[in-house]
Amino acid sequence: MRAAIYKSYGPPDVLQIVDLPKPTPKNNEVLIKLHATTVTSGDARLRAFNLPPGFSQIGRLIFGISRPRNQILGSELSGVIEAVGQGVTKFKPGDEVIAFSDAKMGCYAEFKTFPETGTLAHKPETLSHQQAAAVCFGGTTSLSFLRRANIKSGDRILINGASGSVGTAAIQLAKHFKAEITAVCSSPNHALVQSLGADHMIDYRTTKITELPVQFDIILDCVGSLNTQNTRSILRPSGRLLLIVVSFRDLLAAPFQSIGSSKKVIATPVITKPEDIRFLAELADRGEFTPVIDQTFPLDQIAAAHALVDSGRKKGNVIITF
């Protein structure tokens, strides 16, 4: 099978296309023939080993000290089950599925095995394989944070970095929960976020969001530019600050920042469950969640796809097709 690998950390051109043995499903595993995967910000960070401050030493131990331990990146996929191992009962050959391998990666390949009980679900019929491949990363991240914030109807939410994969998913999920949404992104992307359900749009280049004359029940920061200090005046006394991109120091400090205050800071890592994937698939089938696609590249052009993600200018998701 063809796969994109990287043997060293660095710029996009460290990625190379190679031929690898096709995997065989073990007991209780399925073998998926991929139709599409994505290049996420997480993939790009690992390739370049550009982790948030304080995570470098821990990251080296987890992902590889001098070179990557797992040479195949890619955390989400859409494809068709080609074979199943003994004991598999929920899926059969020919089923169209989506799956999320998260930090285990391995989706930059034509075939991948996956445990039947893992974060795996039937593909929403309303989505193409390219759209379906982008359900999991942005969807599970935003869903986890919004649920931990106990989002409810009528909540006023500010989404900072609203045009990326997490931000565009968060707008649609917040709309599902009937919140009032203020989206922060550059003005060329205002039409996009409004079409997804944003009620108000702010251009961060012309407006200082930390000095807005309004307060929010929830602030979701997808880009890492907000903290407890600079959001003090725009977060309501009982508000929740959700920090997706955070330094190791701020991650440790978050629980203590909530002590003695009615405001809550949430910065803990996302733990994805199979039912989260199924929930997102159901929303997609009902037309309430459609991943946004910026550009689609064939596997041979994966370095160019990574360069687009590195630029910081992508809208929604970058797709790789097989």
User: CATH topology of 2-135+291-321 equal to that of 138-266?
Assistant: no
Domain boundaries, the chain: 2-135+291-321, 138-266
Residue 262: per-residue pLDDT: 83
Q: How confident is the model at residue 1 (pLDDT cuts 50, 70, 90)?
A: very high
- Gap between the terminal Cα atoms of the chain: 11
- Neighbouring residues of 286: CB distance < 8 A, sequence distance ≥ 6: none
Q: Was domain 2-135+291-321 assigned CATH 3.90.180.10?
A: yes
Residue 250: per-residue pLDDT: 76
- Tokens standing for 160? 């900072």
**Where is average pLDDT lowest: 18-22, 55-59, 313-317?**
55-59
| Residue-wise pLDDT tens digits, 26-75 | 999 999 999 999 999 999 999 999 988 788 888 888 889 999 999 999 99
Residue 33: per-residue pLDDT: 98
The answer to whether residue 260 scores a pLDDT higher than 70 is: no
Q: What percent of the chain has pLDDT over 70?
A: 100
The answer to whether residue 258 scores a pLDDT higher than 80 is: no
CATH number of the structural domain 138-266: 3.40.50.720
Residue 268: per-residue pLDDT: 79
Whole-angstrom distance, CA of residue 300 vs CA of residue 320 = 9
The answer to whether residue 256 scores a pLDDT higher than 80 is: no
> Across residues 94-100, what is the average pLDDT?
98
Q: Give bridge partners of residue 215 from the DSSP assignment.
A: none
Q: What percent of the chain has pLDDT over 90?
A: 85
Q: How confident is the model at residue 252 (pLDDT cuts 50, 70, 90)?
A: confident
- Tokens standing for 8? 């060293």
> Across residues 302-321, what is the average pLDDT?
97
The answer to whether residue 253 scores a pLDDT higher than 90 is: no
CB 150 within 8 A of CB 212: no
Let me know how many helices (H) and strands (E) the chain has, helices first. 9, 15
Residue 61: per-residue pLDDT: 86
> Across residues 190-199, what is the average pLDDT?
98
Overall size of the chain counted in residues = 322
Average per-residue pLDDT for the chain: 95
> Across residues 189-209, what is the average pLDDT?
97
Q: How confident is the model at residue 244 (pLDDT cuts 50, 70, 90)?
A: very high
> Across residues 122-138, what is the average pLDDT?
96
**Where is average pLDDT lowest: 14-23, 249-258, 286-295, 301-310?**
249-258
CB 70 within 8 A of CB 105: yes
CB 165 within 8 A of CB 171: no
Whole-angstrom distance, CA of residue 312 vs CA of residue 292 = 16
